[in-house]
Amino acid sequence: MLNEFKAFIARGNVMDLAVGVIIGAAFSKIVDSIVNDLVMPIVGALTGGGFDFSNYFVALSGNVTAPSLAAAREQGAVFAYGNFITVFINFLILAWIIFLMIKGVNRLRATVEKEKIAEAAPPPADVQLLTEIRDLLKSRPAA
């Protein structure tokens, strides 16, 4: 059983997946920082007043009178849609970056394929010989 587990872990797919998950988690933190530290302040400045989406909520109880989400949650039930807006913006930015990365990789692959086609193997020896004969016959003066 231990040998089977070692064989499973040693497969390339499992290691690739592990690396992808780790890089994805780190990349998610970068996107969160882009949204929270760069995009949202600009959106707030453009909309006049520098509002913060994280404190947007609708009170589901008459007892909720607090202006902040944290305090409102202590008072009663709230429908906190502001965090969803932030997460949705995170998703859009992440999806856009992944789209650009895949587009770049596809462009690189297409370039490599074109180079492979351009560097195709020379024609077989008999075709080369026939081509040389044809060229010699063309260069002979007419009789």
Name the helix (H) or strand (E) containing 60.
none
CA-nearest of 143, 120, 123 to 131 is 123
* Tens-digit pLDDT profile for residues 93-109: 878 888 888 898 899 98
More confident residue, 16 or 80: 80
Position 111 pLDDT exceeds 70: yes
Residues 6+ apart with CB under 8 A from 73: 80
Position 16 pLDDT exceeds 70: yes
What are the structural domain ranges in the chain? Answer: 2-138
- Report angle CA 130, 135, 141 to the nearest 5 degrees: 130
pTM of the model: 0.54
* Tens-digit pLDDT profile for residues 125-134: 898 899 999 9
- pLDDT for the residue numbered 134: 93
- pLDDT for the residue numbered 133: 92
| CATH topology classification for 2-138 | 1.10.1200
* Tens-digit pLDDT profile for residues 23-73: 888 888 888 788 778 877 787 777 765 556 778 888 888 888 888 888 888
- pLDDT for the residue numbered 5: 78
- pLDDT for the residue numbered 12: 66
Name the helix (H) or strand (E) containing 59.
strand 58-59
